[in-house]
Amino acid sequence: MTAMCDVAFLLLTFFMLATKFKPEEPVVVQTPSSISEIPLPDADIMLLTVDTKGRIFFSIDNKLKRKELITSVNTDRNLGLTEAEMNSFAIGSSVGVPLNQLKSLLNTPPESRAEIEKQAPGIPVDTSVLSPNNELAQWVKSARYTNPKLRICIKADGEAAYPHVKKIIRTLEGYKIFKFNLITNLKAVPPGTAAFEQKKLAKAE
Amino acid sequence: MAEMDTSGGGHKKKGPGVKKGKKLSTRIDLTPMVDLGFLLITFFMFTTTLAKPKTMEINMPYKDENLTDAEKNKLKASVAMTVLLSKNHRVYYYEGIGDNPDQAPDLKVTGFKAKDGIRDAIIAKKKIVDGLKRSGALTAKDEMTVLIKPDTTSTYSDLVNMLDEMSINDVKVYAIIDISDIEQGFIQATETANGVQ
């Protein structure tokens, strides 16, 4: 009994120290699998979430950068946000509403915001960065301006139609971003393939 | 278990007439603490994210409107394989780049499966390109190139699966390109020929 209790509390301490809470997700996304083993970096990520219906949610980490971001978007697009609203953005998670609905979203209390996020139409996007309707372009531009080290990660649902993803890729290409990450689940390398042989060789070395 | 021994050494028996001092038990019931401990363990086990999400890096080809035709690399038809992604996770592929609109390429239909899937087609094409390199028809600099053209009915998972096939089969040069109307027509023609709705 004593031994078991000791082990139990050891485990408890381990999990308490090792745990990192799952970040709040606006929508549930089932990412497709790939054999890629590159882990997602901890900091400096811009996350573009695409759900099954193709709605786009945008988020960056780091509270301070979020504050800078919203300040920059506010002045660029004349949103007329108050200081309190901007602070509310900084501590929030992700955005999935067009810019004209942003003010009302930020005015709602955080408890009911999750409900609104579920109904959110997503950030409008277009195939060209020059299009005024391409609000994602605005977000990407301002975010990269506040934090040039940002790594862009697309987390899209496997069932999302390709044209939605294409629009995002086109927007990024418009800013000459040709290198980005797609978030996937891990799957085993099928045996007998070129990648499998490479992996075996790397292990043998 | 973890309680203190307060019996006071080896004097188990006391002589007759010696009054027993009333001792308060120092045993504490630890069950609630252990219960709580396990509850917390389960909580932390479920909320923790030990498996970090993986990412796949993707490099799109450099694109610039100011690039002149002369500056662009021309792709040799003999190294190219065009893969069209269509609805219901169907994959159509043909060899070459399909630049001749009059002569429809030999479109083959397959899917993402372990046997006779797109993977086998890529491996076969790779062998052909390697053979051409050895025979001297292609230079060592020529690499097999896969042109991935997802159509509007394909899903994101098709694209990721296809990109994954590239890394699985060690195809170094590939590009995601918009599907042309001609190729959309090829798919239509193949679908009607095979009686697919």
pLDDT digits (tens, 9 = 90+) for B81-127: 888 888 888 888 888 776 666 666 777 888 887 777 888 888 888 88
- Determine the Cα–Cα distance for residues B184 and B186; give it in Å rounded to an integer: 5
pLDDT at B178: 83
Whether residue B171 is predicted with pLDDT greater than 70 in this model: the reply is yes
CB-based contact B160 A184, cutoff 8 Å: yes
- Give Cα separations from B125 to A169, B110, B131, B169 (angstroms): 28, 15, 10, 11
Reduced to 3 states, what is the DSSP secondary structure of residue B82? strand
CB-based contact B1 A163, cutoff 8 Å: no
pLDDT at A144: 87
pLDDT at A24: 66
Q: By the CB < 8 Å criterion, does B152 face chain A?
A: yes
CB-based contact A32 B40, cutoff 8 Å: no
Number of CB pairs < 8 Å for A and B?
163
Q: By the CB < 8 Å criterion, does B88 face chain A?
A: no
CB-based contact A32 B54, cutoff 8 Å: no
Residue in B30, B55, B153 nearest the CB of A153: B55
| CB burial readout B101-118, b (16+ within 10 A) else e | eeeebebebbebeeeeeb
How far is the first Cα of chain A from the last one, in angstroms, to the nearest whole number? 46
The arithmetic mean of pLDDT across residues B154-166, rounded, is 88
Residue A113, amino acid:
R
CB A171 within 8 A of CB A134: yes
List, for residues A44-66, the tens digit of each pLDDT value: 888 888 888 888 888 888 788 88
User: Considering only alpha carbons, which residue of chain B is nearest residue A168?
Assistant: B156
CA dihedral sign, ordered A11, A16, A19, A24: positive
CB-based contact B56 A34, cutoff 8 Å: yes
Q: How confident is the model at residue A11 (pLDDT cuts 50, 70, 90)?
A: confident
CB atoms within 10 A of CB B45: 13
pLDDT at A198: 83
- Determine the Cα–Cα distance for residues B197 and B191; give it in Å rounded to an integer: 7
pLDDT at B18: 63
Q: Phi and psi at residue B175, in whole multiples of 5°? A: -150, 150
CB-based contact A15 B41, cutoff 8 Å: yes
CB-based contact B54 A34, cutoff 8 Å: yes
User: Considering only alpha carbons, which residue of chain A is nearest residue B115?
Assistant: A190
CA nearest neighbour of B36 among A1, A5, A22, A14: A5
Outline where A27-150 has alpha helix (H): 63-77, 83-91, 99-107, 110-119, 135-146
Q: For residue A59, count CB atoms less than 10 angstroms from its CB and return exposed for 0-12, middle for 13-18, buried for 19 or more.
A: buried
pLDDT at B75: 73
Mutate to test the interface with B, among A9, A10, A12, A52 (most CBs of B within 10 A): A12
Q: How confident is the model at residue B29 (pLDDT cuts 50, 70, 90)?
A: confident
pLDDT at B51: 61
Residue in A12, A36, A173 nearest the CB of B63: A173
- Determine the Cα–Cα distance for residues A13 and A17; give it in Å rounded to an integer: 6
Asked if the ipTM is above 0.85, the reply is: no
- Determine the Cα–Cα distance for residues A112 and A89; give it in Å rounded to an integer: 14
Quick one: tokens of B97?
């780049």
pLDDT at B118: 85
List, for residues B100-109, the tens digit of each pLDDT value: 666 667 778 8
Quick one: tokens of B70?
């002369």
| Whole-number percent of chain B with pLDDT over 70 | 77
| Whole-number percent of chain A with pLDDT over 90 | 0
The CATH code of the domain at B75-193 is 3.30.420
In this structure, what DSSP letter does residue A118 have?
Answer: H
Residue B162, amino acid:
M
Q: How confident is the model at residue B50 (pLDDT cuts 50, 70, 90)?
A: low
Using a CB cutoff of 8 Å and minimum separation of 24, what contacts does B184-191 make?
B184/B151, B186/B84, B186/B92, B186/B94, B186/B98, B186/B104, B186/B105, B186/B107, B187/B84, B187/B86, B187/B92, B187/B107, B187/B151, B189/B104, B189/B107, B190/B92, B190/B107, B190/B109
The arithmetic mean of pLDDT across residues B162-189, rounded, is 84
The arithmetic mean of pLDDT across residues A67-84, rounded, is 85
Using a CB cutoff of 8 Å and minimum separation of 24, what contacts does B36-41 make?
B37/A5, B37/A8, B37/A9, B37/A12, B38/A8, B40/A12, B40/A15, B40/A16, B41/A8, B41/A11, B41/A12, B41/A15
Within 13 A of A133's CA, how many CA atoms are on the CB side? Answer: 7
Whether residue A190 is predicted with pLDDT greater than 80 in this model: the reply is yes
CB-based contact B58 A182, cutoff 8 Å: yes
Residue B189, amino acid:
A
Quick one: tokens of B30?
């630890």
CB-based contact B60 A169, cutoff 8 Å: yes
User: Considering only alpha carbons, which residue of chain A is nearest residue B168?
Assistant: A195
CB-based contact A193 B119, cutoff 8 Å: yes
Quick one: tokens of B155?
């899903």
CB-based contact A19 B153, cutoff 8 Å: no
Q: For residue B125, count CB atoms less than 10 angstroms from its CB and return exposed for 0-12, middle for 13-18, buried for 19 or more.
A: buried
List, for residues A27-50, the tens digit of each pLDDT value: 788 888 888 888 888 788 888 888
List, for residues B181-191, the tens digit of each pLDDT value: 878 887 888 78
CB atoms within 10 A of CB A14: 13
Residue in A2, A37, A196 nearest the CB of B1: A2
What is the model's pTM? Answer: 0.78
- Check residues B69 and A131 and name the one with the higher pLDDT: A131
Q: Phi and psi at residue A100, in whole multiples of 5°? A: -70, -15
| Domain chopping of chain B, boundaries | 75-193
Task: For residue A199, give how far its alpha carbon lies from the nearest alpha carbon of chain B (Å).
Answer: 10
- Check residues A113 and A144 and name the one with the higher pLDDT: A144
The arithmetic mean of pLDDT across residues A127-135, rounded, is 80
Residue in A35, A181, A185 nearest the CB of B57: A181
- Check residues A21 and B91 and name the one with the higher pLDDT: B91
Q: How confident is the model at residue B11 (pLDDT cuts 50, 70, 90)?
A: low
Please identify which residue in the block is written with the tokens 């301002």.
A142
The arithmetic mean of pLDDT across residues B129-152, rounded, is 83
